[in-house]
C-alpha cells in the first residue's frame, strides 16, 4: 500500500509539461542512437550524463532512464529495415525482422517490435516496482557456479539454432568461440592469440564485432548484388495501425509472457545483458514453436520473443542497480555514475534516504515507455520510407556511421579495422551458407563462460563442487538434455532423408 501511495505522489511530481518534454526528448534521442548501427544506448546515456549536472537528482535520473529506454527499443528499426542491429540487444530481431521487410511486411514487423517492446517493458517495470527487494535477494544467491550454468545452457542453444545442419552450426559456433578467446585471459591475465600486437591485448569488443558481422557484411553483399545487376525491389504492403490483427496479437501472448520472464530474469543477473536474453528468448521460442522451420524466413514469433525479452531486461537490470548498487549491464553502469554525480548512493539506503527519487524513476519508466510507444507508432510510416532510399546512397552513409560508431566505442582505430575484419567473416559465412547466429551466440557467451568457470573453480576449488549447487544442476542437465534431443532430431531427419532418396532411386 505504501508503494502505491509513493508511486502516486511520484506521478504527481513528474507529470508536468517541462518534465514530460524532457523525457520525450530523451526517448527521441535514445531511439535515434539505438537505430543507427555503431551507436548505442550506453553511448547516448554517456553523452547525456553531463547535461544532467544542472538538473535536480530526480529529473536528471528520469532523463537518463528516458534515453536508456529509447536506445534499447530503437535498435529494432535498423535491424528490421536494414538487417543491421542498432544495438547488441536487437541482434536476434534481424533473423526474422528483415525477411519480413523483404517480403513487403516492414510495417507489420515494426508494429510487432514496437508493441511487444512496450509490453516487455511494462512487465519488467511492474516487477521492478513491486518485487525489487525480493528479486535482488534471489540474485545475491547466484554465485559463479550458477552463472556458469546459465552461460553453459545458453551456449548449448547452438544445437537448437543449428537444427537442420548441425555440422555447419557447430563449425560456425566454434569460430565464434575462438574469436572470444583473443586477448587477456580472465583472472590471470595471460595474453592469448595476440601475435605480439598490443591492440589485440583487450580482445575484440562486442559492438565492433556485431557491426562487422551484420552491417559491413550486408554492405558487401548488397554491393555484390548491385555489381551483378541483381538488386531486388521491395514492394511494401499498406500499413494500417500496427500492421497486425487482434487475433495475431492474442496468438503471441504466451510467447510474450515467456520471453518477458526470460528477459527480466536475465536482466537481474549482473553482467549478462540484453543481447543474451534476446538470443535465449529467440531460441526458446523456436524450440517451443509448432513450426520451427519458419524461423529465419520472416516469422513474427522471432521478433516478438526478442523484442519482449530485450526490453524486459531494462527493468530487470534496474533491480540490482537500485537495490544493491550493482549495475546489471553497461548502460546501468553509466547510470550508476549519474547517481554518484547527484550525490546519491545506489543500494539499500537509497529506498530509505531518497525514496522520492526511486519512485520517481519507477513512474518515469512507465511514462517513458508510453512515450516510446506513441513516438514509434507515429513514426512507422516514416521509418518504412527508409527502404525507398537508393542503395548506392544509403550504404555509403551507413558505412561511415559504422566506422564512426566503432571508433567512438573505445576511441581506438583498431575497432574500425575490426569491423572490416568481421565484415569479411560475415560475407564469407554468407557465401559458404554458414549461419551467423551460432557465431554471434558463441562470441557473446564464450568470454562469460570462461570467466564464471574460472571464478567458480577458484571459489569451490574443483568443478565437481558445482554439482552441489541445485540451480547449477538444473541448468546443466537441461542443457545436456537439449543437446541430446537436438542430436537425436538431427539423426532422425538424416534417416528420413536417406529413406526418401532410397525410395526415389528404386
CB 96 within 8 A of CB 299: yes
Cα angle value 271/311/169 (rounded, 5°)? 65
Question: In whole numbers, what is the pLDDT of the chain averaged over residues?
Answer: 81
pLDDT score recorded for residue 257: 92
Beta-carbon contacts of 490 under 8 Å, excluding residues fewer than 6 positions away, are 163, 164, 166
pTM of the model: 0.78
Predicted confidence at residue 258, as pLDDT, reads 92
User: What is the Cα–Cα distance from 304 to 298, expressed in whole angstroms?
Assistant: 12
Q: Is the pLDDT of residue 1 over 60?
A: no
Residue 99: strand, helix, or coil: helix
Q: β-pairing, 183-184 with 191-192? A: antiparallel
Please state whether 325 falls in left (phi above 0), alpha (psi between -120 and 50) or beta. Answer: left
Please indicate whether residue 143 or residue 301 has the higher confidence score (pLDDT).
301
Q: What is the pLDDT averaged over residues 335-351?
A: 73
65 Cβ neighbours under 8 A, 6+ residues apart: 26, 335, 361, 364, 365, 368
CB neighbourhood size of 238 (10 A): 8
Q: Is the pLDDT of residue 391 over 70?
A: yes
Alpha carbon dihedral 489, 150, 173, 211, in 10-degree steps, equals 130
Calculate mean pLDDT across residues 176-197: 85
Which DSSP category does 191 fall into?
Answer: E
Q: What is the span of the domain harbouring residue 375? A: 1-504
As a whole number of angstroms, the distance between CA 141 and CA 350 comes to: 21
pLDDT in tens, 264-283: 888 877 666 667 788 888 88
Do 170 and 297 form a contact (C-beta atoms < 8 A)? no
Residue 470 CA, distance from chain mean position: 28
For the beta carbon of residue 105, count every other beta carbon within 10 angstroms.
23
pLDDT digits (tens, 9 = 90+) for 26-54: 888 888 888 877 677 777 887 787 777 77
Count of structural domains within the chain: 1
pLDDT above 70: percentage of residues in the chain: 89
Give me the helices (H) in 252-299, please: 253-268, 274-288
Give the tens place of pLDDT for each residue, 190-223.
888 888 888 888 888 877 888 888 788 888 888 8
Nearest CA to 160 out of 408, 487, 421, 496 is that of: 487
Amino acid at each position: 500500500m505504501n508503494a502505491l501511495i509513493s508511486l502516486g505522489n511520484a506521478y504527481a511530481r513528474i507529470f508536468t509539461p517541462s518534465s514530460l518534454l524532457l523525457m520525450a526528448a530523451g526517448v527521441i534521442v535514445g531511439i535515434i542512437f539505438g537505430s543507427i548501427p555503431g551507436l548505442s544506448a550506453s553511448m547516448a546515456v554517456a553523452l547525456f550524463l553531463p547535461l544532467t549536472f544542472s538538473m535536480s537528482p530526480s529529473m536528471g535520473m528520469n532523463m537518463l532512464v528516458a534515453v536508456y529506454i529509447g536506445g534499447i527499443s530503437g535498435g529494432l528499426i535498423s535491424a528490421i529495415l536494414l538487417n543491421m542491429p542498432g544495438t547488441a540487444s536487437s541482434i536476434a530481431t534481424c533473423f526474422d525482422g528483415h525477411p519480413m521487410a523483404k517480403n513487403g511486411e516492414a510495417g507489420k514487423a515494426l508494429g510487432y517490435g514496437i508493441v511487444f517492446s512496450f509490453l516487455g517493458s511494462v512487465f519488467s517495470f511492474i516487477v521492478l516496482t513491486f518485487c525489487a527487494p525480493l528479486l535482488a535477494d534471489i540474485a545475491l544467491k547466484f554465485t559463479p557456479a550458477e552463472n556458469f550454468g546459465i552461460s553453459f545452457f545458453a551456449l548449448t542453444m547452438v544445437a537448437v539454432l543449428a537444427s537442420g545442419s548441425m555440422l555447419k552450426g557447430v563449425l560456425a559456433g566454434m569460430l565464434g568461440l575462438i574469436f572470444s578467446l583473443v586477448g587477456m585471459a580472465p583472472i590471470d591475465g595471460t595474453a592469448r592469440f595476440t601475435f605480439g600486437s598490443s591492440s589485440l591485448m583487450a580482445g575484440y569488443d562486442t559492438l565492433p564485432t556485431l557491426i562487422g558481422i551484420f552491417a559491413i557484411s550486408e554492405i558487401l553483399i548488397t554491393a555484390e548484388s548491385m555489381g551483378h545487376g541483381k538488386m531486388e525491389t521491395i514492394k511494401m504492403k499498406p500499413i494500417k495501425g500496427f500492421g497486425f490483427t487482434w487475433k495475431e496479437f492474442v496468438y503471441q501472448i504466451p510467447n510474450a509472457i515467456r520471453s518477458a520472464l526470460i528477459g527480466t530474469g536475465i536482466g537481474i543477473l549482473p553482467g549478462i545483458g540484453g543481447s543474451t536474453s534476446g538470443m535465449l528468448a529467440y531460441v526458446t521460442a523456436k524450440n517451443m514453436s509448432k513450426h520451427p522451420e519458419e524461423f529465419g524466413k520472416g516469422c513474427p514469433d522471432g521478433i516478438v520473443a526478442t523484442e519482449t525479452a530485450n526490453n524486459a531486461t531494462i527493468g530487470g537490470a534496474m533491480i540490482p542497480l537500485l537495490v544493491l548498487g550493482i549495475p546489471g549491464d553497461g548502460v546501468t553502469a553509466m547510470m550508476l555514475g549519474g547517481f554518484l554525480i547527484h550525490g546519491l548512493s545506489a543500494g539499500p539506503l537509497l529506498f530509505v534516504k531518497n525514496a522520492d527519487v526511486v519512485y520517481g524513476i519507477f513512474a518515469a519508466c512507465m511514462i517513458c515507455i508510453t512515450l516510446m510507444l506513441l513516438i514509434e507508432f507515429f513514426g512507422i510510416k516514416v521509418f518504412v520510407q527508409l527502404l525507398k532510399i537508393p542503395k548506392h546512397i544509403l550504404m555509403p552513409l551507413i558505412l561511415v556511421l559504422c566506422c564512426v560508431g566503432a571508433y567512438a566505442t573505445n576511441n581506438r582505430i583498431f575497432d574500425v579495422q575490426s569491423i572490416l575484419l568481421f565484415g569479411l567473416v560475415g560475407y564469407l559465412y554468407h557465401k559458404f551458407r554458414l549461419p551467423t547466429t551460432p557465431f554471434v551466440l558463441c562470441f557473446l557467451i564464450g568470454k562469460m563462460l570462461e570467466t564464471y568457470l574460472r571464478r567458480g573453480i577458484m571459489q569451490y576449488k574443483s568443478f565437481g563442487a558445482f554439482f552441489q549447487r541445485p540451480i547449477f544442476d538444473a541448468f546443466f542437465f537441461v542443457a545436456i538434455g537439449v543437446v541430446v534431443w537436438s542430436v537425436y532430431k538431427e539423426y532422425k531427419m538424416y534417416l528420413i532423408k536417406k529413406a526418401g532418396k532410397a525410395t526415389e532411386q528404386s
